[in-house]
Amino acid sequence: MCKNPFFADANQTICGACKEKDKEQKYLEQVLKYLKEHPKSPVAVVINETGIPYDMLKKFIKEKRVDLVLDQQYEEQMKREKQRLYNELANAKDSLVGQNKLNTEKKKGKDNLSYQTIMKDRRTL
């Protein structure tokens, strides 16, 4: 239970910071339990078997809370995957922005066309 008085007043049981610490602690316990049963497991296997996010495991290793060595090849693979996903998102965003511009131009063209049609019809009267 969170001891932050703001959350106690708001009928909340736990604040965001405490929630994050709890989540981190659960991941750490999972990893330590797995490594106790499988002490020589590589990073990729630990991630796949425990479901811990790569960045969280990397943090545990850097803080020396987990005795694992980061595999340089796996690290490079993760960087490439992150970059690929970033590029996909950027391309999707650019595509949506381009599509919105096209729709706006089409709409303007329809408005302009209807105005021109009205003016032409008026002249013929």
CA dist., res. 110 & res. 104, Å (int): 10
| The pLDDT of residue 37 | 92
| The pLDDT of residue 30 | 92
The predicted-structure confidence for 29-80, as pLDDT tens digits, reads as follows 999 999 999 888 888 888 889 999 988 888 988 888 888 877 777 778 778 8
| The pLDDT of residue 26 | 92
| The pLDDT of residue 117 | 60
By CB neighbour count within 10 A (0-12 exposed, 13-18 middle, 19+ buried), where does 61 fall?
A: middle
Residue with tokens 């105005």: 115
The CA-atom distances, in angstroms, between 63 and each of 32, 74, 101 are 14, 19, 48
Where exactly are the structural domains of the chain?
Answer: 1-70, 75-125
pTM for this entry: 0.54
The predicted-structure confidence for 85-101, as pLDDT tens digits, reads as follows 888 888 888 887 777 76
Q: 6 or 14: whose pLDDT is higher?
A: 14
Does residue 65 sit in helix, strand or coil? coil
